[in-house]
């Protein structure tokens, strides 16, 4: 069921508020009645996007299903995807990881002149098969129906057989210390395989991932060459500077590159 503009804004505020909001805050913010906000919260709860608690809402204590995550921060994910797709040179070999932002990258690659893509993302593979100039290799393994991807030992072993030019992956959350967090050990193993088998590592994550809770540490920002997001706060900018990671900000004002860091990241000279 499509979300209204107000419901989309409620989800964004919930993410940025650290995962908890009161009904009174929302009625004051949007200038609507308690009954209107209650209806919005009930609809969001029925779709599994929030958890109702006394006096308000919290984020669910587990990752949302793929279909639910697809509607959250969609325009930000599309902007990130367009920026990444435009930077990939013809003939490059890439990993494309799990999640809804990598899926948007796949959609943005539909007009790309040619790539080889290795992925365990079922939606990405189904999208890319519509571009005859892209060779897609889909990893085997255990299918996770709620996430629409492949995981497990076979999946990780398949990815580790390759050495690619660009590894493009998402995360469950980014901690205050710059840790890359995932929701399960299986997801973490996939992230580590991409990080360790890619010449250039590209993290794609919208701004809501900062301070989002996820239990498994997969690495740190120092493992990443390029961080692509739609907007940046001073805390994340400081983490990127400390890690030596380049920032590509793909907000509503178009793509812009923040100050270069100590790491030699080559956004404008990305060659396989």
Residue 270 lies in a domain: no
Q: What is the mean pLDDT of residues 88-110?
A: 95
- Report the domain count for the chain: 2
Give the mean pLDDT of the chain.
86
For position 178, which CATH number holds?
Answer: 3.40.50.1360
Judge whether 188 and 227 are in contact, CB under 8 Å: no
Alpha-carbon separation of residue 261 from 52, 116, 202, 239, 246 (angstroms): 42, 29, 15, 11, 6
Q: Kindly indicate the confidence band of residue 52, based on its pLDDT and cuts at 50, 70 and 90.
A: confident
Angle at 67 between CA 153 and CA 193, to 5 degrees: 25
Cβ pair 77, 259 in contact under 8 A: no
User: Nearest 10 degrees: CA dihedral of 270, 84, 180, 152?
Assistant: -100
Do 29 and 154 belong together in one domain?
no
Q: Do 179 and 47 sit in the same domain of this protein?
A: no
**Which of 52, 98, 56, 83 shows the shortest CA–CA distance to 193?**
98
Q: Which residue has the tokens 């404008």?
A: 268
pLDDT at 74: 82
> SS3 for 219?
strand
Residue range 201-214, pLDDT digits in tens: 999 998 878 877 78
Residues 83, 210 share a domain: yes
22: CATH: 1.10.10.10
Structural domain harbouring 129? 74-257
pLDDT digits (tens, 9 = 90+) for 143-200: 988 788 999 999 999 999 999 999 999 998 899 899 999 989 999 999 999 999 999 9
Which string of DSSP letters, residue by residue, matches 173-193?
Answer: EE-TT-EEEESSHHHHHHHHH
- Domain-embedded: residue 217: yes
Q: At what angle do helices 5-16 and 34-46 cross, to 10 degrees?
A: 80
Range 214-219 average pLDDT: 92
Alpha-carbon distance of 22 to 198, in angstroms, equals 43
Task: State whether 38 and 130 are in the same domain.
Answer: no
Q: Are 22 and 120 within one domain?
A: no
> Which of residues 252 and 42 earns the better pLDDT score?
42
Three-state secondary structure call for residue 36: helix
- Same domain for 85 and 179? yes
Residues 16, 127 share a domain? no
- The verdict on 53 and 80 lying in the same domain is no
Under the banding of pLDDT at 50, 70 and 90, the label for residue 262 is very low
Say which DSSP state 54 is in: T
Asked, for residue 208, whether it belongs to a domain, the answer is: yes
**Intra-chain end-to-end CA distance of the chain, in Å:** 41
- The predicted model gives 238-256 an average pLDDT of 82
Quick one: pLDDT band at residue 15, thresholds 50, 70, 90? low
Residue 262 lies in a domain: no
Pair 162, 87 in one domain: yes
* pLDDT band at 61; cut points 50, 70, 90: low
Strand residues in the chain grouped as ranges (E): 20-22, 51-53, 56-58, 92-96, 115-119, 134-138, 142-144, 149-151, 164-169, 173-174, 179-182, 198-204, 216-220, 226-229, 246-251, 254-257
Residue 92 and residue 156 in one domain: yes
């Amino acid at each position: 069921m499509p979300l209204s503009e107000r419901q989309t804004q409620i989800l964004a505020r919930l993410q940025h508020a650290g995962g908890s909001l009161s009904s009174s805050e929302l009625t004051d913010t949007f200038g609507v009645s308690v009954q209107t906000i209650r209806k919005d919260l009930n609809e969001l709860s029925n779709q599994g996007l929030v958890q109702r608690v006394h006096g308000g809402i919290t984020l669910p204590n587990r990752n949302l299903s793929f279909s639910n995550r697809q509607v959250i921060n969609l325009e930000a994910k599309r902007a990130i995807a367009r920026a990444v797709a435009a930077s990939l040179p013809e003939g490059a070999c890439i990993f494309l990881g799990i999640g809804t932002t990598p899926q948007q990258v796949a959609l943005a690659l539909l007009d790309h002149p040619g790539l080889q893509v290795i992925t365990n993302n079922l939606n990405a593979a189904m999208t890319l098969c519509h571009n005859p100039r892209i060779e897609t290799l889909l990893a085997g393994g255990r299918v996770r129906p709620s996430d629409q991807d492949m995981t497990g030992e076979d999946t990780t072993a398949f990815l580790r057989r390759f050495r690619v030019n660009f590894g493009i992956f998402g995360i469950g959350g980014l901690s205050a210390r710059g840790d890359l967090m995932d929701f399960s050990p299986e997801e973490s193993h996939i992230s580590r395989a991409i990080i360790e088998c890619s010449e250039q590592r590209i993290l794609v994550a919208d701004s809501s991932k900062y301070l989002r809770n996820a239990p498994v540490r997969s690495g740190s920002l120092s493992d990443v060459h390029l961080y692509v997001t739609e907007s940046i706060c001073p805390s994340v900018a400081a983490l990127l500077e400390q890690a030596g990671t380049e920032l590509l900000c793909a907000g509503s004002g178009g793509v812009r590159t923040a100050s270069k860091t100590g790491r030699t990241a080559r956004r404008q000279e990305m060659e396989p």
